[in-house]
Amino acid sequence: MQRPPGAAASPIAIELIGINKHFGPVHANKDIHLVIRRGTVHGIVGENGAGKSTLMSILYGFYTADSGEIRVNGQPHAITDSRHALALGIGMVHQHFMLVDNFTVLENVVLGAEDSPLLNRTLEHARTQLAALARDYELEVDPDTLVENLSVGQQQRVEILKALYRGADTLILDEPTGVLTPPEADHLFRILKMLRDEGKTIILITHKLREIMAITDEVSVMRQGAMVRTLTTAETSPPELAELMVGRRVLLRVEKGPANPGKVMLEVENLVVTDDFRIPRVKNVSFSVRAGEIVGIAGVAGNGQSELLESVSGMRDQQSGVIRLNGKPLSLEGDDGAARAREAGLAHVPEDRLRMGLITNFQEWENSILGYQDRYGKGLSLDIDKAKEDARAYVEKFDIRPPTIDLKTANFSGGNQQKIVLAREMERNPDVLIVGQPTRGVDIGAIEFIHNQIIKMRDAGKAILLVSVELDEIRSLSDRILVLFDGEIVGEADPAVATEGELGLLMAGVHAEPAPAAGPGTLPAHETAVEKTLVERGPDSSSLKDSQQ
């Protein structure tokens, strides 16, 4: 491991020496050495499954390393649990918030750090502390609101307050911007810079290169469980980091010709959809998708995408509005609406394959017919032979590994699981294909394949609705972009012309003014449209198997 040349002589806050961690047969952290200096923002970057979260979880006491040493401020410590880590001043802001939704902000902050067995005094003390922290670091949140009523950005602030309340000197943030709009992300970076300037140490785990470049002082790259290199941010660049992350030159551009849109296949008119708590999530949305075109819906997670997909695919009843397929209105009421959607010629690759699109305990061939089981066999009987035959064909065509159709689906990697879903939905020759987060938790080789498959479907004349929180994916695949914010379509853009800045503003609910002809927008200057080299993927970690393609 290389020390960055001419590193600042800042004292070392945290040092990890020879850290190893196994989860069963998986070697998640391989002999990691890492030096983090006090008063810096130190980035840890790597692909899904590279081992970043595991490493930080060890530092935070959530896991224990199999071997190796941790030194905090020069002293070795065996960090056995989170309490110990907190006592050493190490606090963590998790990717999926560790908050109790039906508690207030105050109750969440004091949980586990109460002064006494009775709550009254504790809460009063916390209230004063929070007010002080809010002043110092722009972390304003109403202490008496229930967490479930806060925005995602505000919830993240509560997470940070929790750590600061406990006197953390070192803050670890795990993929913090995955659920934030660009302006919220900027605000977060401001907060982090303020904390750093006060002498706190920030460790930022992310797979987003632009964040690394924007805010870190040093960056360490991990790949497949090992620490590859540590560099000074000012002396490196996204292409170099990308190459270190993946281990080879990365040039990822989807090859696609111009679109040739035909007639309107999917029409959504004045759609209103409520969620399980009767709150409207899709508010009067209208759009159409033509045969042979890809319409991409951009937006930060939680703005109604899930409800939109569920409603168009028949999984969720709509409050009002019309959905037409090939001119005919669809009636998708009842909890078997999805069957009727399929009959009408719609296929659906869901956002969350593990929760919705696959039954992990089923064998691979059974998942190959999930949703289409009624087409196999006459009457009540299931034609298992035909199902297996089709499954074998898909496995070959989509290069699904291992090619064992009897194997339980849980044993396949994320990328292969996604291929099972794609094969199933694409090979039915649907007229309309709706796809949610197609490359979430999928590794780079499979991503290229999946993107090419989607383009192929488009060129074969299918109408494709693509929903993704990864703006780069939307921009690279779509022929037309619609931006969804708070359940409404707030703008339409031409991917060839629209900039990240414009789209970012729309995604944040700000109505964009026409952008200057050539200008950087609100994001750092080094980003240009031409130099895009890496398609970024979703923040969710998946099994380590992904990195072993």
Partner 1 sequence: MKPLPRWADSVLLPLLNVTLAFFIGGLIVAAVGQNPLQAVGIMIYGAFGYGNGLGYTLYYTTDFIFAGLAVSLAYHAGLFNIGPEGQAYFGGLGVIFVALGLNGVPWWIVGPLMVIGGGLFGAVWGFIPGYLQAKRGSHIVITTILFNFIATLLVGYVIDTVLRPPGADNDESSPILAITRVPQLRSFIPFFGHSPVNLTVFLALICVGLVYWLVWHTKFGFAIRALGQNPVAANYAGISNQKMIMLVMVLSGALAGMVAVNNVGGVQGRLILNFVNGAGFVGVAVAFMGRAHPVGVLLSALLFGALYQGGSELAFSMPGVTKEMILTIQAMVILFTGAMGDMLRIPLQKLFSLRSSP
Partner 2 sequence: MDLYLNLIYTLASTVRLSVPIILACLAGLYSERAGIVDIGLEGKLLVSAFGAAAAAAVLGSAWIGLLVGILCALAFSVIHGIASINLKGNQTISGVALNFLAAGLTVFLGNSWFNQGGFTPLLKGSQRFLPIIWPCADQVKDVPIIGPIYANLLSGHSILVYFTFLVVPFTAWLLFRTRFGLRLRAVGENPKAVDTAGISVTRLRYQALIITAVLSGIGGSYLSIAQGANFVNNMSNGRGYIALAALIFAKWKPWPALWTCLLFAFLDALQLRLQGIKFPIIGEIPVQAIQVLPYLLTIILLAGFIGRAVAPKASGIPYTKER
Binding site for partner 2 (CB under 8 A): 23, 28, 53-54, 60-63, 81-86, 92, 94, 98-103, 107-108, 110-114, 116-120, 122, 162, 541, 543-544
Only one of the segments 205-213, 232-240, 332-340, 526-534 lies at the binding site for partner 1 (rule: CB under 8 A); that segment is: 332-340
- C-beta of 137 vs 412, nearer to partner 1: 412
Residue 438 interacts with partner 1 (CB under 8 A): yes or no: no
* 458 CB-near residues (< 8 Å, 6+ apart): 256, 259, 292, 293, 294, 464, 479
Contact assessment for residue 13 and residue 189, using Cβ atoms and an 8 Å cutoff: no
* 447 CB-near residues (< 8 Å, 6+ apart): 252, 415, 439, 535, 537
Packing angle between helix 414-426 and helix 384-397, nearest 10 degrees?
A: 120
Please tell me the distance from the alpha carbon of residue 507 to that of residue 180, in angstroms, as a whole number: 10
Residue 514 interacts with partner 1 (CB under 8 A): yes or no: no
Instruction: Provide the minimum distance between the beta carbon of 318 and partner 1 in the complex, in angstroms, as a whole number.
Output: 15
Tell me the sheet residues that pair with 75. Answer: 72
122's contact among partner 2, partner 1, none, with CB below 5 to 8 A by partner kind, is partner 2
Residue 345 interacts with partner 1 (CB under 8 A): yes or no: no
Distance between the two ends of the chain, CA-based, in angstroms? Answer: 25
Please tell me the distance from the alpha carbon of residue 441 to that of residue 362, in angstroms, as a whole number: 21
Only one of the segments 78-86, 125-133, 369-377, 453-461 lies at the binding site for partner 1 (rule: CB under 8 A); that segment is: 369-377
Question: What's 206's DSSP letter?
Answer: E
Please tell me the distance from the alpha carbon of residue 358 to that of residue 350, in angstroms, as a whole number: 9
Only one of the segments 77-85, 275-283, 367-375, 395-403 lies at the binding site for partner 1 (rule: CB under 8 A); that segment is: 367-375
Residue 373 interacts with partner 1 (CB under 8 A): yes or no: yes
Residue 348 interacts with partner 1 (CB under 8 A): yes or no: yes
Please tell me the distance from the alpha carbon of residue 538 to that of residue 438, in angstroms, as a whole number: 10
362's contact among partner 2, partner 1, none, with CB below 5 to 8 A by partner kind, is partner 1
359's contact among partner 2, partner 1, none, with CB below 5 to 8 A by partner kind, is partner 1
Contact assessment for residue 144 and residue 131, using Cβ atoms and an 8 Å cutoff: no
Instruction: Provide the minimum distance between the beta carbon of 356 and partner 1 in the complex, in angstroms, as a whole number.
Output: 5
102's contact among partner 1, partner 2, none, with CB below 5 to 8 A by partner kind, is partner 2
Residue 4 interacts with partner 1 (CB under 8 A): yes or no: no
* 128 CB-near residues (< 8 Å, 6+ apart): none
Only one of the segments 49-57, 116-124, 217-225, 359-367 lies at the binding site for partner 1 (rule: CB under 8 A); that segment is: 359-367
Site size toward partner 1, by CB under 8 A: 34
380's contact among partner 2, partner 1, none, with CB below 5 to 8 A by partner kind, is partner 1
State both tokens at 182: 């660009």
- C-beta of 75 vs 381, nearer to partner 1: 381
Which 70-99 positions form the footprint of partner 1 (CB under 8 A)? none
Alpha-carbon torsion 98, 100, 106, 110, what sign? negative
Instruction: Provide the minimum distance between the beta carbon of 340 and partner 1 in the complex, in angstroms, as a whole number.
Output: 7
Instruction: Provide the minimum distance between the beta carbon of 28 and partner 2 in the complex, in angstroms, as a whole number.
Output: 8
Which 274-313 positions form the footprint of partner 1 (CB under 8 A)? 313
Please tell me the distance from the alpha carbon of residue 290 to that of residue 325, in angstroms, as a whole number: 10
Among 10, 283, 376, 509, binds partner 1 (CB under 8 A): 376
Only one of the segments 57-65, 120-128, 289-297, 377-385 lies at the binding site for partner 1 (rule: CB under 8 A); that segment is: 377-385
113's contact among partner 1, partner 2, none, with CB below 5 to 8 A by partner kind, is partner 2
Q: Fill in the per-residue mask, 378 to 397: x = in contact with partner 1 (CB under 8 A), - = not in contact.
A: --xxx-x-------------
State both tokens at 12: 């070392």
- C-beta of 310 vs 500, nearer to partner 1: 310
Residue 341 interacts with partner 1 (CB under 8 A): yes or no: yes
Instruction: Identify the residue whose tokens are 């059974």.
Output: 366
Please tell me the distance from the alpha carbon of residue 7 to that of residue 399, in angstroms, as a whole number: 47
Alpha-carbon distances of 509 from 139, 182, 269, 484, 504, rounded to whole Å: 21, 10, 22, 9, 9
Pairing mode, strands 294-298 and 463-468: parallel
Residue 127 CB-half CA count within 13 A: 11
Instruction: Provide the minimum distance between the beta carbon of 361 and partner 2 in the complex, in angstroms, as a whole number.
Output: 15
Q: Which residues of this chain interact with partner 1, rule CB under 8 A?
A: 24, 313-315, 334-342, 348, 350, 355-362, 366, 370-371, 373-374, 376-377, 380-382, 384
